[in-house]
């Protein structure tokens, strides 16, 4: 996830910059004013509470604001992150936001502060007032708004400066110049995050060989359930003995065995540039588990690859592999091979369809030679580290 707070005095151009950031990084836009108006219009319970407070001439409390924010965040679980426009406005709200981000096992990645001198803000807002028809676009009200902004906001800016995530941008340049600076800052924070790539494909598609080579090329941790389970079998552990029996019958290894091994791998690789997952998730249940595991450790899925190979070619490859030293326990008969292919069709294809809706899945033609497939996969992963192509 990429979470950004965009700050700046009235007239700084936050709306313009917010729109391009939301589109560029697939963020959920959060403006407390917009959200409050939405609740009022919907006449929700929160909206009714706010309406009564406003009618009495008071400001809407932080208690109501935080409930509206939490509702919006939880209603957008598939967002790539959140852009907070002008929030938090006080240090109390900054602590509130910290708490909300903790619930997501996340944090605010950067506060971007658009710096505009007071007289320039006044000039812009007075110019806007000529056509906006807004009663508050007059000089007395504008200067009061600017004073309130500076009085309440400077402590917030200091709060995030101490955390090392405040970035100042001169907001007096052209829209394109400001946009370039803002995007560069956001992208630099995005690329600091570990990437997580999932490689899908039917048995025999070459997903294992490709994922292993890609992990080595890009300095990613190779997370393969097969490899970890094989290590358990080689060590002769109780888990290994259970796995051997399951492999012999062509059955999938249950989640109770796989999940602790996956989490142990993620937890022990926190300094890694990222992860490549092969052979996991294989089921819808595992896909939700993986989402939760990654979120718990401050990560999320960055790219989904699916290596496609026609069924007849898959059968030929698996039959050929069964006669080599690379033979897997489930390659030893046509019956087992067919069962594995059917299990992928029935259990794993729904996972790919889920991710297609949430993230998008990049299909790779797996019928060519290893080098060609590797080049195509590498191109997709390389884009994760190129600012000009973020997010994918």
pLDDT at 389: 44
Bond preceding residue 88 cis, omega within 30 of 0: yes
Positive or negative, the Cα torsion across 91, 96, 102, 108? negative
pLDDT at 127: 86
Confidence of residue 338 (pLDDT cuts 50, 70, 90): confident
Any bridge partners for residue 364, and if so which? 307
Cβ contacts of 41 within 8 Å, gap of 6 or more:
47
pLDDT at 302: 85
Q: Are 234 and 240 in contact (CB under 8 A)?
A: yes
Please report, rounded to a whole number, the percentage of residues in the chain having pLDDT higher than 90: 43
Higher-scoring residue by pLDDT: 135, 352: 352
Rounded to two decimals, the pTM is 0.63
The pLDDT tens digits of the residues spanning 30-81 come to: 988 888 888 888 888 888 888 877 676 666 788 888 888 888 887 886 677 8
Q: Which residue ranges form the domains of the chain, and what is each CATH number?
A: 2-27+79-192 (3.40.50.300), 195-389 (3.40.50.300)
Task: Give the mean pLDDT of the chain.
Answer: 86
Confidence of residue 391 (pLDDT cuts 50, 70, 90): very low
Find the range with the poorest average confidence among 155-159, 206-210, 331-335, 351-355.
Answer: 331-335
The pLDDT tens digits of the residues spanning 291-328 come to: 888 877 777 888 999 999 999 999 888 888 777 777 66
Burial class (CB in 10 A: 0-12, 13-18, 19+), 228: buried
Give residue 285's region: left, alpha or beta (phi > 0; psi -120 to 50). Answer: alpha
Confidence of residue 390 (pLDDT cuts 50, 70, 90): very low
The pLDDT tens digits of the residues spanning 216-261 come to: 999 999 999 888 898 899 999 999 999 998 888 877 788 899 998 8
């Amino acid at each position: 996830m990429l979470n950004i707070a965009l700050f700046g005095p009235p007239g700084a151009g936050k709306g313009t910059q917010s729109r391009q950031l939301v589109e560029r990084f697939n963020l959920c836009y959060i403006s407390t004013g917009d959200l409050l108006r939405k609740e009022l219009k919907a006449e929700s319970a929160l909206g009714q509470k706010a309406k009564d407070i406003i009618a009495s001439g008071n400001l809407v409390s932080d208690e109501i604001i935080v409930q509206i924010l939490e509702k919006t965040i939880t209603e957008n679980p598939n967002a790539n992150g959140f852009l907070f426009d002008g929030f938090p406005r006080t240090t109390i709200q900054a602590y509130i936001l910290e708490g909300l981000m903790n619930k997501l096992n996340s944090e605010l990645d950067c506060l971007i502060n658009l710096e505009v001198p007071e007289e320039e803000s006044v000039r812009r807002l007075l110019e806007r007032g000529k056509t906006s028809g807004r009663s508050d676009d007059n000089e007395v009200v504008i200067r009061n708004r600017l004073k309130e902004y500076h009085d309440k906001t400077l402590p917030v800016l200091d709060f995030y400066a101490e955390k090392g995530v405040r970035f100042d941008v001169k907001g007096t340049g052209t829209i394109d110049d400001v946009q370039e600076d803002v995007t560069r800052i956001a992208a630099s924070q995005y690329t600091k995050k570990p990437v997580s790539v999932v490689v899908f494909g039917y048995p025999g598609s070459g997903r294992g060989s490709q994922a292993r080579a890609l992990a080595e090329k890009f300095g990613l941790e190779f997370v393969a359930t097969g490899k970890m389970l094989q290590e358990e079998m080689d060590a002769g552990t109780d888990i290994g003995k259970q796995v051997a029996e399951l492999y012999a019958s062509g059955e999938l290894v249950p989640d109770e065995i796989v999940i602790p091994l996956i989490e142990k791998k993620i937890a022990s690789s926190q300094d890694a540039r990222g992860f490549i997952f092969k052979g996991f998730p294989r089921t819808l249940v595992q896909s939700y588990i993986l989402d939760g595991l990654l979120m718990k450790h401050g990560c999320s899925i960055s790219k989904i690859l699916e290596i496609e190979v026609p069924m007849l070619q898959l059968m030929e490859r698996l039959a050929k592999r069964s006669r080599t030293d690379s033979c897997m326990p489930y390659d030893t008969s046509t019956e087992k091979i067919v069962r594995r292919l059917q299990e992928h069709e029935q259990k794993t294809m729904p996972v790919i369809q889920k991710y297609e809706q949430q993230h998008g899945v990049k299909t790779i033609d797996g019928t060519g030679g290893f080098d060609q497939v590797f080049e195509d996969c590498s191109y997709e992963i390389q884009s994760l580290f190129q600012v000009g192509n973020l997010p994918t």
